[in-house]
Structure 1
Amino acid sequence: MTGPRYRDPTAPVAERVRDLLGRMTLTEKVGQVNQRMYGWHAYERDGGGHRLTDAFRSEVAAYGGMGALYGLQRADPWSGVGFADGITAADGARVADAVQRHVIENSRLGIPVLLVEEVPHGHQALDGTVLPVNLAVGATWDPGLYEAAAAAVGAEVRARGGHVALVSALDLVRDPRWGRAEECFGEDPYLAARLTEALVRGARTADVAVVLKHFAGQGATVGGRNSAATELGARELHEIHLAAARAGVRAGAAGVMAAYNEFDGLPCVASEPLLTELLRERLEFDGIVMADGGAVDRLVRLTGDPVAAGALALNAGCDLSLWDDCFPRLAEAVERGLVAERTLDTAVARVLALKFRLGLFERPYAPAVDRPSDPRELSERIARASITLLAHDGDVLPLTPSIRRIAVLGPNADSIAQQIGDYTAPQRPGSHHTTVLDGIRSAAPPDTEVTHAPGCDLVGGDLSGVPGAVELAAAADIAVLVLGGSSARSGDTTFDTNGAAIVTSAESTGMTCGEGVDLADPRLPDGQLALLDAVAATGVPVVVVLVQGRPHALPDLSGTAAAVLSAWYPGPWGGRAVADVLFGAAGPEGRLPVSIPRSAAQLPVFYNAKDHGYRGYVDQPATARYPFGHGLSYTTVGYAPPRLSRTRVTPDDPALTCRVTVRNTGERPVRETVQLYVRRLSGGSSWPRVRELRGFVRLALRPGEEADAVFEIDAETLASVTRDLGLAVEPGELLLETGPSSAETRGARLVVERPG
């Protein structure tokens, strides 16, 4: 091939990068590591179409190109983009291609731009498919289902011209007061790791690169306070907060986003020990590191100078900025000697390598994409699989045809906005979405009377609606009470510079969850509890359905509710999923990805705490109301003790098989999630945890059927974090435990012998 080496698609990526980098000016290099423009500022409505703005053209001209453009198709109250002025599915590819064409044709070297999109739980764009939030995905314990959904959503993003998906996957719910709990897969590192690798695999099948958020330890902020300090030691970081990152890197994640929180006194985006020594050297990550929105600008408080702030982040290992004013001044940093040009070259090389790997130099425009499956159907499947039956008296569910009058009550019974979660684009007016009330009306037998009243507001003390709700309940055969929280933003919501909601009181906004919406007390609001008590006092059987983005602290409902289910934020079609479970068209399959507390006073309650044999508080138990892994079904299931193929192994040869026989002892079919935990009884290089999830198997069992759940145990299953923060199988005595939850296990002893 004649022409520049970087134009040769058969040349190795490293050679193409080296050739292109050698042709670039300092200004062009700085342009490649910047992502300061909001995508919605790059276009404006022009009659029936869209035109590129002068601001966008000026940005491209200033740097001889553009490294990345964030959120071209993002729509939400913060961006102010809606159906009147935004980019719909019908327009997405055309506008993306116009952006790409302008960048290529108006840069000296013809370097394409990365189009970066928010994909928190589906593409955050007009007409984008909305999935249940990540906490609901965690409750499915089904990586295969999530991988299929990630592939379908990735195909949707790619068909609209997007290249890079920003997805929360690395944060863990270590404190349910944190408003971003809904963005996490749960509290456990192993479960998060399996879902993170499923996410990356699924997106890669659609040729979409994933940037995993947030690195690292953001879920461990003190008091559940968003973006605040963490008090993580290195061991806690390695034992709990790095497993998902390791899995994502192995699966081929294109990037990670540095978190806002500090680690050992430095914000993550400025931490060389975190971004370079740990991520690059120990985890061998060769992708890009992206700053969180405006995070580099925050470093000015440390440096006193925006040029030095940009240099600090670049020297630490950050490759690509987001919305800040500091990285655009990196040329000054080089000229002042604050950062070496070779350091800038390294960051530019990573950005260019991603563009080459995505094939953007050969195929810069939106492709015709065949969707592997319908993302809306997958969204509903996730919602159905996530519904978790927390408590049940054994008689009320599933609802039978003899139920002729159903009162559907509560502030979350008939609200799409309150079941789709934070970071969601406006929904098209007239779209066929399904609230819980809609789902029950559709699923109920034709002669069933379904009545409805909210009874109370989501928050606040106005109880004027309670008497009407009580009247409906008293006339019904059963009351379905839909309670919980809301992350619904509105046009009246005010925002921080990074898009987080600014909420001074839940009463003023109706938001009780979401970024920037932390709770000191995660219990259900007083009005909802008063409504529950008043309806229960009628004597009618009560089924509580929690539509929530965090594990709300729950009182003892054993004398109040006949059944309690968590539907999380189940997405726009979640009402059908809830109704299917209530009426028995589907059984409840969900298992808790988090522990549900009794009160804020006992926090934290995560199951895998250090094993110090704590007896509990004097005034209340220290245990969770419902433990991690818990979830009931409409049948009964019996577990035999686990059986090991070997009871003694060595660190060099740790392989064995663990089997447990599981029997459906009831009268209904079940999808049972059999869980494997490892508990260290002796040995090891640090104090052990109570137990740690290291495997799970899903079994489908007919009534009376039994089957073996089989776990292949290897070095990764038995490994622990060593004194030098590596991973190794350490000598000692372990208990391999199996069961239906972290609090219901039976174990078999395994000795790991010392070598020699």
Structure 2
Amino acid sequence: MTLPRYRDPAAPVPDRVRDLLGRMTLTEKVGQVNQRMYGWHAYERAAGGHRLTEAFRAEVAAFGGMGALYGLQRADAWSGVGFADGLDAVDGAAMAARVQRHVRETTRLGIPVLLVEEMPHGHQALDGTVLPVNLSVGATWDPELYAQAAAAAGAELRSRGAHVALVSALDLVRDPRWGRAEECFGEDPYLAARLTEALVEGAREAGVGVVLKHFAGQGATVGGRNSAATELGARELHEIHLVAARAGVAAGASGVMAAYNEFDGLPCVASRYLLTEVLRERWGFDGLVMADGGAIDRLVRLTDDPVTAGALALDAGCDLSLWDACFPRLAEAVERGLLSEEALDTAVARVLTAKFRLGLFDEDPPGPDPDGAGARDAAPGRDRGPDAPEVPSVAARAWDAGDVGERIARASITLLAHDGAVLPLSPSAGRIAVIGPNADSVEQQIGDYTAPQRPGSGVTVLQGVRAAVAPGTEVVHARGCELVGDDRGGLPEAVAAAAGASVAVLVLGGSSARSRTTAFDDNGAAVAGSGAAPGMTCGEGVDLADVSLPAGQRALLDAVAATGTPVVVVLVQGRPHALPDLRDRAGAVLSAWYPGPRGGRAVADVLFGVHEPRGRLPVSVPRSSAQLPVFHNGKDHRYRGYVDESHQPRHAFGHGLAYTDVEYGTPRLSASRVAADAPDLTCRVAVRNTGDRAAVETVQLYLRRLSGGSSWPRVRELRGFVRLSLAPGERAEAVFAVGRDTLSSLDRDLAWVVEPGTVALGTGPASDRTLEARLDITAPSR
């Protein structure tokens, strides 16, 4: 029997898509652009395991198939899924196989389902490895390390039968009051672009497609207010907020997710300018555009009609819905003349193309399901070809992902301030006091959007310190205060612990830990205020007007410092909290961001000098909320500052100290003048470790336009970074290739070009500590 063309794995993907599309009814087409079911509603616990629900079977039958199923294995407080009723790694693989089997066997065309999972910092599923949050990844300034983490997390996801990972990568921390700051790689577009590339490349190595979110500008909402308005011009959008998306698309991302926020009066999911003109026509992107959860339904406020709202989003360039009630009615939109069937075909073709590219049609069909309820079937196999990378076994990938997560945690820990004496700690310190609301909580160091953890898993900072000390060294603990509020009842115990210690490690910061008592919006965001998100100080929906540390934590710091015991402050946080000058109260200050389950061991390794501090700030740390925004690459209008407070950050973007001293020379350019059409040269800078300990130094390259260009220049722009490992006394050179990408800027037509003028190329250890060399860029030679 001759197979249909779409079933022929040797046929080109466009031919297979065309053949399949030509066989589909209008109802089947609408089914392929829908992703309205929560995955945890597709199964239920039954005798001996789990089984498909009648709701899932009805959804498949209603549309003759299913485009995508979101979050089959998602587990968290919002979904209500936990160990009692959810899917572990083996059950998850079996249920994924059961979903595919049902759809293939009960529908006319047997089109497989795209299984879509959240991978915010590891697969958000039971027993999924939790990685440090993206802000922690940003602090590593290490794309190679992150690519390994993305590959390990992707292998976990793929081993459980899923195909697509949803990952926040495109948002920037332009205002740290925004609760989703932890999901960003930082405030800078260049750094975010390099890490986005690493994410896409690592996941692709594991055979997983990535949908990048959120497109676009969501990190620029006014006042740091979640899902609120943005006031972006087109130039700011392209210069800052589209850079990472452009890099991710070029690296091979499978899709982007249209954000909730608006641009120029229209929500992104309805913006033809963003989704078609920029993404498709200018960048040549041929992947998927997915709506954020319920975003299409929000358009009903504009259209007064869900059918028209669905047509508006699809016509703008959205291909795949998420949890909405509008896209299921697209057949009605076609019948009413609100949408052409050709436009619908275009979206369907993109969904089918993604399925063919990811190999769904060529996976080995799942085996028989003898009892239909709970047998632990093998995960669906895949003919990946002789040169494709192997997907690790469940046991192997769990170890690999956890190990690379711990390496990220260590690499991200940033030494913000140091008196040169208190660190590193001695394992034989006599007595160490570990104090604070974040000292002994795995839950508070793993960030938002994490699945429930097995009891006893992970390593807290207190546990990490206890494991690191020598026999005979006593480690005492006191909580001191609550995470939020101004409760001071624990201060006497904390003071007593610190007073008799050689050093006090004070673990402060925030928490994004959700609980069953947290109130949630219909899209899963925590509802802040009035105690609806108890204990949360960060996370989606948890925006702060004041990013200072809570009053109780500040009082604890003052009380412990007043004992005279040397103090080391460790900030476990998901956003940069505003910091006062702590030199009179703390000998050292470190930021650990949310370092993941094993973060306590990583913190201890740096505290005791087992590993040198090498993190660099991916964000600027403000002095107070009153001075926000405070990012490093604003427009250069030579502002003189406030009367009552400095407008400069407490710690600048790129800042990070070591336990040694590193000396920088002046950058040397291979040419002082280049033509705009032939701008290739090199920039070299000598770096020397003048101390007696090893250092891992991140040498940064910034561009500053002095004259020329199509628009007003920025204060500085990150354009490169190189990591050097330096032994005590060692001297090395950081070498930067300077070409079009380094020197380009947006012209009047919003195209990236090298424009004539004079620029300064600066190198140094942070954005506020650079030495510069001038470069003249002349008009094209021809």
CA contact (8 A) 1:460 1:507 kept: no
Tell me by how many angstroms 1:506 deviates.
6.0
State TM-score, norm by structure 1: 0.99
Taking the aligned partners of 1:625 and 1:283, their CA distance within structure 2 comes to: 38
5+ residue gaps, structure 1:
none
Taking the aligned partners of 2:56 and 2:88, their CA distance within structure 1 comes to: 20
Query: Which runs of structure 2 are paired with 1:46-125 in the superposition (5 Å)?
Result: 46-125=46-125
The CA deviation string for residues 616-668 of structure 1, in whole angstroms up to 9 with x for no partner, is 10000000000000000000000000000111111110000000000000000
The verdict on how the C-alpha distance between 1:387 and 1:119 changes in structure 2, with shifts beyond 3 A counting, is same
1:489 matched to 2:511? The reply is no
| Poorly superposed stretches of 4+, deviation over 6 Å | none
Tell me by how many angstroms 1:429 deviates.
2.0
Q: Secondary structure at the residue paired with 1:473? A: helix
Q: Secondary structure at the residue paired with 1:494? A: coil
- Structure 1 counterpart of 2:451, from 405, 425, 430: 425
Quote the residue 2:18 is aligned against. Answer: 18
Quote the residue 2:424 is aligned against. Answer: 398
Taking the aligned partners of 1:650 and 1:622, their CA distance within structure 2 comes to: 37
CA contact (8 A) 2:211 2:254 kept: yes
Tell me by how many angstroms 1:228 deviates.
0.1
Tell me by how many angstroms 1:92 deviates.
1.5
Q: Secondary structure at the residue paired with 2:362? A: coil
1:447 matched to 2:472? The reply is yes
Q: Which amino acid aligns with 1:598?
A: R
CA contact (8 A) 2:704 2:759 kept: yes
Taking the aligned partners of 1:594 and 1:686, their CA distance within structure 2 comes to: 25
The CA deviation string for residues 276-329 of structure 1, in whole angstroms up to 9 with x for no partner, is 001111111110000000000000000000000000000000000000000000
Tell me by how many angstroms 1:2 deviates.
2.3
Taking the aligned partners of 1:223 and 1:83, their CA distance within structure 2 comes to: 38
CA contact (8 A) 1:459 1:506 kept: no
Q: Secondary structure at the residue paired with 1:501? A: coil
Tell me by how many angstroms 1:439 deviates.
0.2
Query: Which runs of structure 2 are paired with 1:124-163 in the superposition (5 Å)?
Result: 124-163=124-163
Quote the residue 1:412 is aligned against. Answer: 438
CA contact (8 A) 1:75 1:81 kept: yes
Q: Which amino acid aligns with 2:607?
A: L
Taking the aligned partners of 2:107 and 2:754, their CA distance within structure 1 comes to: 53
1:600 matched to 2:599? The reply is no
Q: Which amino acid aligns with 2:433?
A: A
1:704 matched to 2:729? The reply is yes
1:621 matched to 2:646? The reply is yes
1:511 matched to 2:536? The reply is yes
The CA deviation string for residues 140-164 of structure 1, in whole angstroms up to 9 with x for no partner, is 0000000001001101100000100
Taking the aligned partners of 2:391 and 2:206, their CA distance within structure 1 comes to: 8
Quote the residue 2:204 is aligned against. Answer: 204
Quote the residue 1:639 is aligned against. Answer: 664
Quote the residue 1:322 is aligned against. Answer: 322
Taking the aligned partners of 1:506 and 1:638, their CA distance within structure 2 comes to: 50
Taking the aligned partners of 2:427 and 2:647, their CA distance within structure 1 comes to: 41
1:556 matched to 2:578? The reply is no
Q: Secondary structure at the residue paired with 1:374? A: helix
1:35 matched to 2:26? The reply is no
Tell me by how many angstroms 1:434 deviates.
0.1
- Structure 2 counterpart of 1:569, from 579, 585, 594: 594
CA contact (8 A) 1:390 1:632 kept: yes
Quote the residue 2:686 is aligned against. Answer: 661
Q: Which amino acid aligns with 1:316?
A: A
State TM-score, norm by structure 2: 0.96
Q: Which amino acid aligns with 2:711?
A: S
Taking the aligned partners of 2:10 and 2:68, their CA distance within structure 1 comes to: 25
- Structure 2 counterpart of 1:534, from 559, 580, 583: 559
Q: Secondary structure at the residue paired with 1:198? A: helix
Q: Secondary structure at the residue paired with 2:360? A: coil
The CA deviation string for residues 337-368 of structure 1, in whole angstroms up to 9 with x for no partner, is 00110000000000000000011111165338
Quote the residue 1:369 is aligned against. Answer: 391
The verdict on how the C-alpha distance between 1:570 and 1:646 changes in structure 2, with shifts beyond 3 A counting, is same
1:378 matched to 2:399? The reply is no
CA contact (8 A) 1:681 1:734 kept: yes
The count of aligned residue pairs is 755
CA contact (8 A) 2:428 2:473 kept: no
Q: Which amino acid aligns with 2:700?
A: Q
Tell me by how many angstroms 1:508 deviates.
6.0
Identical-residue share of aligned pairs (%): 76
Taking the aligned partners of 1:228 and 1:506, their CA distance within structure 2 comes to: 22
Tell me by how many angstroms 1:401 deviates.
4.1
CA contact (8 A) 2:698 2:721 kept: yes
Taking the aligned partners of 1:106 and 1:266, their CA distance within structure 2 comes to: 40
CA contact (8 A) 1:459 1:507 kept: no
Quote the residue 1:218 is aligned against. Answer: 218
Taking the aligned partners of 1:440 and 1:382, their CA distance within structure 2 comes to: 19
Tell me by how many angstroms 1:106 deviates.
1.2
Q: Root-mean-square deviation (CA), in Å?
A: 1.0
Q: Which amino acid aligns with 1:32?
A: Q
Query: Which runs of structure 2 are paired with 1:670-709 in the superposition (5 Å)?
Result: 670-709=695-734
Q: Secondary structure at the residue paired with 2:10? A: coil
5+ residue gaps, structure 2:
367-379, 382-389
Taking the aligned partners of 1:436 and 1:44, their CA distance within structure 2 comes to: 38
Taking the aligned partners of 2:48 and 2:647, their CA distance within structure 1 comes to: 61
CA contact (8 A) 1:135 1:185 kept: yes
Q: Which amino acid aligns with 2:411?
A: A
Tell me by how many angstroms 1:35 deviates.
0.1
1:584 matched to 2:609? The reply is yes
Quote the residue 1:464 is aligned against. Answer: 489
